[in-house]
């Protein structure tokens, strides 16, 4: 099912993100964990392309397995920045052949090697180039793009960030998913600004339950996220006790999701880090809200 259909519905929904295995020998355990997450029957499951420590090799296989074994719609991520046109075209063809309906079109992060290389030689510089490539291929995918309530770290300012987001919308994106954030006011402010700029596409907020103190530094590095005092106090108090930190992190994420729903957001995406237990607890906390 295309995500555009899911996003049209007037019901609240939760979706989950998983990542593919880091090594070939991890494949079975990751397949089992991601299948378990899918069996919670979220609105859809997204499968990253190389992010979060996974390789890009198994994105399609994990996405297909979830769809075929559990029947939950999937969103397969694809990045372009370090790829040749042949590779990207082949990936698009492989996805079509596998019956994939939803693709998250991303640029990918710049490695230090890429930063140093000659950008004029890159086949794709930005995610918008990948969106155009997909459109030109004639593949009938529902296309997602990334957005950043706290501005992408490479953008000079909010105006520039929104300008480039609008380019992705105009190129054929069907919806956006946000980078993680820990203060919902950042999301509400961002939504106001993009609507003002004429971007009307659905935006799915991405929520990351921080269940280990060690994840905090990585979250800040990845997203440059602002950590509200309430969240910092929680990590200070419970960070050294794994069970307490997990419970407090899940409660914080649950609270964020409830506030989003209460303020008119319908769809929320949870970065599960391949942890079925965390996904299950969040879903259980919201059982009467999700209905």
The least CB distance from residue 116 to ligand FAD, in Å, is 16
Q: Where do contacts with ligand FAD occur on this chain (CB under 6 A)?
A: 48-51, 77, 79, 106-109, 126-128, 146, 152, 154-155, 160-161, 164, 167-168, 177, 179, 206
Q: Distance between CA atoms of 167 and 219, rounded to whole angstroms? A: 27
If the CB atoms of residues 10 and 157 are measured against ligand FAD, the closer one turns out to be 157
> Angle formed by the axes of helices 127-137 and 158-171, to 10°?
10
Alpha-carbon distance values, 193 to 101, 158, 259 (Å) = 30, 9, 20
Q: Distance between CA atoms of 79 and 68, rounded to whole angstroms? A: 24
Find residue 206's DSSP bridge partners: 269
The least CB distance from residue 91 to ligand FAD, in Å, is 13
The least CB distance from residue 194 to ligand FAD, in Å, is 13
If the CB atoms of residues 206 and 249 are measured against ligand FAD, the closer one turns out to be 206
If the CB atoms of residues 111 and 263 are measured against ligand FAD, the closer one turns out to be 111
If the CB atoms of residues 166 and 251 are measured against ligand FAD, the closer one turns out to be 166
Alpha-carbon distance values, 81 to 72, 87, 111, 139, 267 (Å) = 29, 11, 10, 20, 29
Catalytic residue, from 17, 35, 133, 150: name it.
17
Q: Distance between CA atoms of 251 and 91, rounded to whole angstroms? A: 39
Q: What is the DSSP letter of 267?
A: E
Residue 229, H or E segment: helix 229-238
157-181 as b/e: b if 16+ CB within 10 A = ebeebbeebbbbbebbbbbbbbbbb
The least CB distance from residue 262 to ligand FAD, in Å, is 23
Residue 61, H or E segment: helix 59-70
Residue 56 tokens read as: 């890009």
If the CB atoms of residues 156 and 217 are measured against ligand FAD, the closer one turns out to be 156
The least CB distance from residue 167 to ligand FAD, in Å, is 6
Contact of 205 with 268, CB cutoff 8 Å: yes
Asked if 17 is an active-site residue, the reply is: yes
The least CB distance from residue 50 to ligand FAD, in Å, is 5
If the CB atoms of residues 50 and 239 are measured against ligand FAD, the closer one turns out to be 50
The residues assigned a catalytic role are 17
């Amino acid at each position: 099912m295309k995500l555009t259909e899911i996003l049209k519905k007037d019901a609240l929904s939760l979706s989950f993100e998983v990542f593919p295995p880091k090594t070939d020998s991890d494949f079975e355990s990751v397949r089992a964990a991601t299948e378990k997450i899918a069996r919670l029957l979220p609105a859809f499951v997204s499968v990253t392309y190389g992010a979060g420590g996974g390789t890009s090799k198994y994105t399609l296989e994990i996405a297909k397995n979830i769809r075929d074994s559990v029947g939950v719609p999937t969103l397969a991520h694809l990045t372009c920045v370090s790829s040749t046109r042949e590779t990207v075209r082949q990936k698009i063809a492989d996805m079509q052949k596998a019956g994939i309906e939803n693709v998250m079109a991303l640029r990918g992060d710049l490695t230090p090697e890429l930063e140093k290389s000659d950008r004029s030689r890159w086949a794709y510089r930005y995610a918008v180039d990948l969106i155009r490539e997909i459109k030109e291929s004639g593949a009938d995918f529902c296309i997602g793009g990334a957005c950043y309530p706290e501005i992408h770290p490479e953008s000079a300012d909010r105006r520039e960030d929104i300008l480039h987001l609008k380019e992705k919308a105009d190129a054929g994106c069907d919806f956006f998913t946000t980078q993680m954030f820990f203060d919902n006011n950042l999301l509400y402010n961002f939504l106001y600004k993009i609507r003002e700029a004429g971007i009307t596409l659905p935006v799915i907020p991405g929520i990351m339950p921080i269940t280990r103190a060690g994840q905090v530094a990585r979250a800040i590095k990845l997203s440059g996220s602002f950590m509200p005092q309430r969240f910092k106090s929680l990590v200070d108090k419970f960070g050294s006790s794994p069970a307490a930190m997990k419970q407090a992190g899940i409660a914080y994420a649950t609270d964020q999701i409830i506030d989003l729903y209460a303020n008119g957001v319908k769809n929320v995406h949870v970065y599960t880090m391949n942890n079925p237990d965390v996904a299950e607890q969040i879903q259980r906390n919201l059982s009467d809200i999700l209905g």
